[in-house]
Protein backbone atom coordinates (compact mmCIF):
# COMPACT_ATOMS: atom_id res chain seq x y z
CA UNK A 1 0.00 0.00 0.00
CA UNK A 2 2.81 2.44 0.87
CA UNK A 3 4.41 1.77 -2.53
CA UNK A 4 1.18 2.73 -4.29
CA UNK A 5 0.87 5.97 -2.33
CA UNK A 6 4.54 6.78 -2.99
CA UNK A 7 4.04 6.10 -6.71
CA UNK A 8 0.96 8.35 -6.83
CA UNK A 9 2.75 11.17 -4.97
CA UNK A 10 5.75 10.83 -7.30
CA UNK A 11 3.36 11.18 -10.26
CA UNK A 12 2.00 14.43 -8.81
CA UNK A 13 5.55 15.75 -8.38
CA UNK A 14 6.34 14.96 -12.03
CA UNK A 15 3.17 16.68 -13.21
CA UNK A 16 4.07 19.76 -11.13
CA UNK A 17 7.52 19.88 -12.72
CA UNK A 18 6.09 20.23 -16.22
CA UNK A 19 5.40 23.95 -15.64
CA UNK A 20 8.94 24.88 -14.62
CA UNK A 21 10.82 27.66 -16.37
CA UNK A 22 12.94 26.25 -19.14
CA UNK A 23 10.22 24.05 -20.57
CA UNK A 24 8.10 25.26 -23.44
CA UNK A 25 4.33 25.18 -23.32
CA UNK A 26 2.47 24.31 -26.50
CA UNK A 27 0.63 27.63 -26.04
CA UNK A 28 3.75 29.82 -26.02
CA UNK A 29 4.40 31.80 -29.16
CA UNK A 30 6.58 34.53 -30.57
CA UNK A 31 5.30 37.68 -32.23
CA UNK A 32 7.62 39.81 -34.33
CA UNK A 33 6.70 43.47 -34.81
CA UNK A 34 8.14 46.82 -35.82
CA UNK A 35 7.26 50.51 -35.55
CA UNK A 36 5.26 52.26 -38.26
CA UNK A 37 6.53 55.62 -39.52
CA UNK A 38 6.50 58.33 -38.36
CA UNK A 39 6.99 56.61 -34.97
CA UNK A 40 10.74 56.05 -34.48
CA UNK A 41 11.63 54.73 -31.01
CA UNK A 42 15.08 55.65 -29.75
CA UNK A 43 15.68 52.39 -27.86
CA UNK A 44 14.38 48.89 -27.32
CA UNK A 45 13.04 49.96 -23.93
CA UNK A 46 11.01 52.73 -25.56
CA UNK A 47 9.64 50.28 -28.14
CA UNK A 48 8.60 47.85 -25.39
CA UNK A 49 6.95 50.70 -23.47
CA UNK A 50 4.93 51.69 -26.55
CA UNK A 51 4.00 48.05 -27.14
CA UNK A 52 2.82 47.58 -23.54
CA UNK A 53 0.84 50.85 -23.62
CA UNK A 54 -1.44 49.28 -26.22
CA UNK A 55 -2.27 46.11 -24.28
CA UNK A 56 -4.49 45.28 -21.29
CA UNK A 57 -1.45 43.44 -19.81
CA UNK A 58 2.31 43.99 -19.82
CA UNK A 59 5.01 41.92 -21.48
CA UNK A 60 8.04 41.73 -19.19
CA UNK A 61 11.46 42.80 -20.48
CA UNK A 62 12.73 39.21 -20.14
CA UNK A 63 10.13 38.20 -22.76
CA UNK A 64 11.28 40.87 -25.23
CA UNK A 65 14.24 41.12 -27.60
CA UNK A 66 15.00 43.82 -30.12
CA UNK A 67 17.48 44.31 -32.96
CA UNK A 68 18.33 47.17 -35.26
CA UNK A 69 17.81 46.19 -38.91
CA UNK A 70 20.00 48.33 -41.16
CA UNK A 71 18.20 47.23 -44.35
CA UNK A 72 14.95 48.77 -43.11
CA UNK A 73 16.63 51.39 -40.85
CA UNK A 74 14.36 50.46 -37.94
CA UNK A 75 14.13 48.47 -34.74
CA UNK A 76 12.46 45.07 -34.99
CA UNK A 77 11.23 43.30 -31.87
CA UNK A 78 10.07 39.86 -30.78
CA UNK A 79 8.01 39.04 -27.71
CA UNK A 80 7.00 35.76 -26.12
CA UNK A 81 3.30 35.18 -25.54
CA UNK A 82 2.34 32.77 -22.75
CA UNK A 83 -1.12 31.80 -23.99
CA UNK A 84 -3.10 31.58 -27.19
CA UNK A 85 -5.44 34.24 -25.74
CA UNK A 86 -2.53 36.68 -25.27
CA UNK A 87 -1.36 36.01 -28.82
CA UNK A 88 -4.82 36.74 -30.20
CA UNK A 89 -5.18 39.93 -28.14
CA UNK A 90 -1.78 41.20 -29.29
CA UNK A 91 -2.48 40.47 -32.95
CA UNK A 92 -5.82 42.30 -32.74
CA UNK A 93 -4.41 45.32 -30.87
CA UNK A 94 -1.51 45.69 -33.31
CA UNK A 95 -3.90 45.51 -36.28
CA UNK A 96 -5.57 48.61 -34.78
CA UNK A 97 -2.31 50.35 -33.89
CA UNK A 98 -1.08 53.46 -35.65
CA UNK A 99 2.47 53.04 -34.29
CA UNK A 100 3.25 49.28 -34.49
CA UNK A 101 2.61 46.43 -36.91
CA UNK A 102 2.88 42.64 -36.73
CA UNK A 103 5.44 41.05 -39.03
CA UNK A 104 5.21 37.40 -38.03
CA UNK A 105 3.61 35.01 -35.51
CA UNK A 106 5.08 31.60 -34.80
CA UNK A 107 5.45 28.92 -32.14
CA UNK A 108 8.21 29.32 -29.57
CA UNK A 109 11.14 27.01 -30.30
CA UNK A 110 13.79 25.98 -27.75
CA UNK A 111 16.37 27.93 -29.78
CA UNK A 112 14.28 31.10 -29.66
CA UNK A 113 13.66 30.67 -25.91
CA UNK A 114 17.46 30.44 -25.40
CA UNK A 115 17.95 33.58 -27.49
CA UNK A 116 15.53 35.50 -25.27
CA UNK A 117 17.29 34.26 -22.14
CA UNK A 118 20.67 35.44 -23.46
CA UNK A 119 19.74 38.73 -25.13
CA UNK A 120 16.83 40.39 -23.34
CA UNK A 121 19.04 42.71 -21.27
CA UNK A 122 20.92 44.05 -24.30
CA UNK A 123 17.62 44.62 -26.10
CA UNK A 124 16.68 47.40 -23.69
CA UNK A 125 19.50 49.63 -24.95
CA UNK A 126 19.47 48.74 -28.66
CA UNK A 127 19.01 51.88 -30.73
CA UNK A 128 19.31 53.06 -34.32
CA UNK A 129 22.63 54.70 -35.17
CA UNK A 130 22.81 58.47 -34.99
CA UNK A 131 21.57 60.03 -38.19
Number of domains in the chain: 1
Domain that holds residue 109: 23-123
Asked if residue 5 belongs to a domain, the reply is no
Burial class (CB in 10 A: 0-12, 13-18, 19+), 61: middle
Does pLDDT of 23 surpass 50?
yes
CATH code assigned at 45? 3.30.70
| Structure confidence at residue 25 (pLDDT) | 61
Does pLDDT of 19 surpass 50?
no
Nearest Cα to 59, choosing from 97, 22, 88, 86? 86
Asked if residue 6 belongs to a domain, the reply is no
Rounded Cα distance, 16 and 42, in Å:
42
Prediction pTM value: 0.77
**Listed range (53-62, 107-116, 122-131) with the worst mean pLDDT:** 122-131
Range 46-71 average pLDDT: 95
Do 40 and 74 meet the contact criterion of CB atoms below 8 Å apart? Answer: yes
Amino acid sequence: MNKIITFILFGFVLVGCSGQEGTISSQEGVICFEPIEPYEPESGAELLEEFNSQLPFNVKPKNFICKYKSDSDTLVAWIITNTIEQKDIIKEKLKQSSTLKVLQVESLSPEMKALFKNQWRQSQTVSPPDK
